[in-house]
Amino acid sequence: MSHEHESDRPASEQNRRDFLKLGAVAGLGAALGGMSLSGCAGAGRRLGPAPLKPFAAPPIERVRVGYVGVGGMGSAHVRNLLRIEGVEITAVCDIVQEKVTRIQRWVQEAGQPKPAGYSRGEYDFKRLCEQGDLDLVYTATPWRWHVPVCVAAMEAGKHSATEVPAAVTIAECWQLVETAERTNKHCVMMENCCYGRAEMMVLNMVRKGLFGEILHGEAGYLHDLRGVKFSKQGEGLWRRDHSTKRDGNLYPTHGLGPVAQCMNINRGDRFDYLVSMSSPARGLQLYQQEHLPPDDPRRSEKYVLGDVNVSMIKTVNGRTIYLVHDTNLPRPYSRINMVQGTQGLFSGYPDRIHIEGRSPAHQWEKAEDYYAEFEHPLWTKEGEKARGAGHGGMDYIEDYRLIQCLREGTPTDMDVYDAAAWSVVSELTERSVANRSRPMDFPDFTRGRWQAKPPLGIVGA
């Protein structure tokens, strides 16, 4: 779903009561020199205990999907879903009619009936969610629409899945948790990097104890997006606007998700608090002046997002995570992707491994030499089908796994508590940066259930 401008929704549409409570807490915290957000949201206090067991819905033999937002990523997901057994695309929504028509043609060319189309403006996804022959509503819209689409889907009795981040604010995170629990529907954030080949091999090795006890991780999203942010199409229509209003880690989940899974976050451990600081904002201003013509109105924009945001997360069990956001400066791509334990570590970009007693002393080994022994079963089985799909094939594995869970009636690998815990980093870092890097407590979206929830296992295909 394309939008010309990213702007805040009216407060009445963003759980106004909880938002005001959060604002009051923020003001008090600044005055006191710190802030605790563990139970700050009124929604969280109203919920009572979270469910004891991981949520699993009844199995669905054929998963009927409605897709909202079919620009670049949305179209890529549709292509994947059309290749996965047991999926039918029954509805598609975008504010651009031509995009809806294109997806309808793709679906028909794949041998499925023409899906219903919705393109009557920004809120037409609500009509899609009310369509009867739907099991899952999947969205790849600009960030501010993720929560409205997911909530509308769950309220209409459908499971929901969203591109990253799942939410932008603390209040939105609680809204997803509350709605998922009340409606007994899945709300899954589609963090594709958790399904990368290297990330899944590392998770397999962590589970087998190769690195010993995991103590520390390093993660990030380090990607020169200047050209994307100033594009006149796609994400350029809305993503740059966030940089004019927000200063923190605006896109934490790509790097953080895989590390969180290795550390059993929400499954035996949880994020406790963070501190965050940002560099000055220079990159977008320089790019703007050097690349835009003199009469371009974008030359007058001012940016507040620090070019490099650095955050440190401490978990309840004492683990540490170094997290970086860096999208406004010239640099090669990296997610860092480092997991370190008492017996060794994996570090990405380039991928390399050192295991005490197995690797040469004080030397790295190439990670590729470990695939033959420790390849994740999902990649062993589905890797060939994933070839050619987006982001090195991880997008296909991600879509395949979601459909597999829905068809088998098993808990999804990532649930609404993960979506909330990983996404809430954005506002927490913004608050920390604005308060001279003071510690910010994470809300416990599980309300204590993280202590009993079993770790994510190594699943087969």
* Tens of pLDDT, residues 198-241: 999 999 999 999 999 999 999 999 999 999 999 999 999 999 99
137 and 233 assigned to the same domain: no
The parent domain of residue 158 ranges over 28-191
The per-residue pLDDT for 287 is 98
In a domain, 2, yes or no: no
Give whole-number Cα distances, 189 to 158, 173, 374, in Å. Answer: 15, 11, 26
Residues 183 and 286 in one domain: no
User: Is 17 a member of any domain?
Assistant: no
- The kind and range of the H/E element at 256 are helix 253-262
Q: 397 lies in a domain?
A: no
Centroid of chain to Cα 275 = 20
- Give the pLDDT of residue 461: 73
Contacts of 430 by beta carbon, 8 Å cutoff, 6+ apart: 246, 247, 248, 276
The span from the CA of 9 to the CA of 101, in Å, is 28
In this structure, the answer to whether residues 157 and 211 fall within a common structural domain is no
How many CA atoms are closer than 13 Å to the CA of 68, on its beta-carbon side?
32
Angle at 283 between CA 306 and CA 333, to 5 degrees: 90
User: How far is residue 198's CA from residue 394's CA, in Å, rounded to a whole number?
Assistant: 10
- Residue with the two structure tokens 């605006």: 250
Q: Are residues 233 and 299 in the same domain?
A: yes
In a domain, 307, yes or no: yes
**CA distance readout (Å), 405 to 60, 63, 395, 400, 453:** 9, 11, 16, 9, 18
8 Å CB contact between 313 and 253: no
Report the C-alpha gap between 187 and 193 in whole angstroms.
18
Query: Is residue 35 domain-resident?
Result: yes
Q: Give the domain CATH number at 256.
A: 3.30.360.10
Residue that the structure tokens 């975008």 belong to: 94
Give counts: helices (H), strands (E), the chain. 17, 15
Residue pair 397/386 in contact by the 8 Å Cβ criterion: yes
Same domain, 187 and 101: yes
The per-residue pLDDT for 256 is: 98
Q: Does 12 fall in a domain?
A: no
Q: Are residues 254 and 214 in the same domain?
A: yes
Query: 201 and 182 share a domain?
Result: no
What's the confidence (pLDDT) of residue 46? 63
3 state SS of 292: coil
Q: What is the CA radius of gyration of the chain?
A: 21
Same domain, 182 and 199: no
Query: Is residue 216 a part of any domain in this protein?
Result: yes
Any idea what the CATH number is for the domain that residue 155 is in? 3.40.50.720
Domain membership of residue 289 (yes or no) is yes
Mark which of 131, 164, 191 sits at the end of a domain: 191
Domain count, the chain: 2
Residues 33 and 182 in one domain: yes
Asked if 163 and 213 sit in the same domain, the reply is no
Phi, psi angles (nearest 5°) of residue 82: -70, -15
Pairing of strands 159-162, 136-139: parallel
**Domain stops at, among 168, 191, 214:** 191
Measured CA to CA, the distance from residue 80 to residue 432 in angstroms comes to 39
- Taking the C-alpha atoms of residue 403 and residue 422, their distance in angstroms, rounded to an integer, is 22
- Out of 150, 167, 191, a domain closes at 191
- Amino acid identity of residue 93, one-letter, is C
For residue 373, count other CB atoms closer than 10 A to its CB: 11
Q: Domain check: are 213 and 344 in the same one?
A: yes
Residues of the chain with pLDDT under 50: 1-45
Residues 180 and 200 in one domain: no
Tokens 């590390």: give the residue: 259
